[in-house]
Structure 1
Amino acid sequence: MIKIVATLLLLSFWVDAKTPAIVAHRGASQDAPENTIPAFKLAWEQGADAIEGDFFLTKDNHIVCIHDPNTKKVATRNLEIKKSTLAELRTLDVGVKYADHFKGTSIPLISEVFATVPAQKKMIYIEIKCGTEIIPPLLKEIGRSGLKQKQIVIISFNHKVIEAMKIKAPQYKAFWLSGMERDRSGKPNPSLETVLSTLKKINADGFSSHHRHIDKKFIRELIDKGYEYHVWTVDDAKTAARFQQWGATSITTNVPAHIQKSIAK
């Protein structure tokens, strides 16, 4: 009986501890300027399974990769993305504030980011940072990219964006993003009920949250309902191992080489 119980416990551990995909957050963003071609190329060199980038639509209908709605954080001149043309944005240097040897780095087009994705098995998590107006040009860019359906993942904090994407292109996986807090009683916010009802309403494939204020029970109930769970932004091995055991499909990190190595152990 003892041997049987031990065997079942071991099997239970391995079921929970499936290897999650390691997603490079804005590329290898600890070692290169975020959301740039150098960061994405470095992420692949460090063994990432996927890259994650943030995307906005410019004034002249181009899709560019940048985290904020303006360039204040990454450049010496502040331009608002939706009010600027691609030509105006391309005049900016988004590498020199990170380090001198990245001087001359420009804001990339989504097509340039796509071009870094290896042909086999690797994925790109496309975080839509604006509204549904980006969807028609985005689908055109995806179609031109040559990437396979399984290589494309759509994510957004805006549940209306996910809903619209699943209507326009249901073949692509799409996940709703949300931070997690605790209310005064200590319960997670948003609640499990809110998350499940939102996912069902927008036809999302899963839920992606920050690693704080979420536990195994919450995650396992999501998975039991048929949804995937993804976590961000995890930069330490102990936290990564915990979410691996809890069943996360992917772990997004600023340090893909470190987390990849720790998960492989």
Structure 2
Amino acid sequence: MLPSVVAHRGASAHAAEHTLAAYDLALAQGADALECDVRLTRDGHLVCVHDRRIDRTTNGRGVVSALSLAELAMLDYGGEVGVLTLDALLGLTADHGTRLFVETKHPVRYGGLVEAKLVALLARHGMAAPADKDTSPIVVMSFSTLAVRRVRAAAPGLPTVLLLSQLWPTLRDGSLPPWADHTGPGIGLLRRDPDYVARAADHGHATYCWTVDDPADVELCAGIGVRWLATNAPAATRAVLAR
């Protein structure tokens, strides 16, 4: 089975990341699912911003957690005015029936409040307690084991991904902590150790791989059984998979 194509911050190779334009383009390009990063503003709103600071992606400066939603809403995000809130992105995905992979960023000023706010927001959208994990419209991810554990405790029905930039010695056999459903290695890890996907599958864990744009990497992921492939260019990635 070919991997599902997940639009990493939207179609971010062609539109400003974490903007409605990027997500609309990703859907137009045939992405199977979308991905976003979330951080908390000073006044407690979840916004879709990757970096700790806004300097790279806006015409402003400062730390996300030190700014209010109103302050972030006044900035230009690569041609689109106003920060994208997770609330708005959840509305978009619900309208299109599209799965959303949500990464909570750590370390952050507000610690576990990020996961608490996330679960509360998902509950308001009716997404915190899916009928089953395979059809859940939301998957929650983090590099932080504590973050993934907090999500499991607060919303046991939500599927989770433990993101990995390297394999810890205790995870080399493909196992994961009990609160993580799926594994999330970076593409560099799979280039070095492609058999990891099979070892994880032997333990019942599917693989989400980030961030895969090079055609050779797309083909590698398809060949070793990656289930979800995060990419900045959904259309180009789908074209490689269709060969």
Normalised TM-score (structure 1):
0.81
> C-alpha separation between the residues in 2 aligned to 1:262 and 1:230?
18
Greater gyration radius: 1
Q: Aligned pair 1:92/2:92, yes or no?
A: no
Q: Which runs of 5+ in 1 are unaligned?
A: 1-17, 96-101, 181-188
Structure 2 residue 116 is the aligned partner of structure 1 residue 136: yes
Q: Indicate the RMSD between aligned Cα atoms, in angstroms.
A: 1.9
Unpaired runs of at least 5, structure 2? 131-135
Any idea what SS the aligned residue of 1:172 has? coil
Q: For 1:52, what is the secondary structure of its paired residue?
A: strand
> Paired residue for 2:149?
163
Deviation at 1:57, TM superposition (A): 0.8
Q: How many residues align?
A: 231
Taking the aligned partners of 2:184 and 2:226, their CA distance within structure 1 comes to 9
Tell me by how many angstroms 1:105 deviates: 2.6
Which of 22, 46, 51 is 2:5 aligned to? 22
SS class of match (1:216):
coil
- After superposition, give the CA deviation of every residue in 1:40-70 in whole Å (9 maximum; x if it has no partner): 1111111001111110011111100100111
Alignment partner of 1:117 out of 93, 111, 114: 93
Match of 2:158 in 1: 172
Residue identity over aligned pairs, in percent, reads 29
Structure 2 distance, partners of 1:41, 1:76, is 22
Q: Which of residues 200, 204, 210 is equivalent to 1:222?
A: 200
Matched, 1:264 2:242: yes
The answer to whether the Cα contact below 8 Å between 1:79 and 1:89 also exists between their aligned partners in 2 is no
Secondary structure in 2 matching 1:177? strand
Letter in 2 for 1:23: V
The answer on whether the counterparts of 2:173 and 2:199 sit within 8 Å (CA) in structure 1 is no
> By how many angstroms is 1:197 displaced?
8.7
CA displacement at 1:76 relative to structure 2: 2.2
SS of the residue corresponding to residue 35 of structure 2 reads: strand
Superposition pairs of residues 25-44 of structure 1, within 5 angstroms: 25-44=8-27
Q: What TM-score, normalized by structure 2, do the two folds share?
A: 0.88
Shift of 1:108: 0.8
What is the CA–CA distance in structure 2 between the aligned matches of 1:218 and 1:225, rounded to whole Å? 11
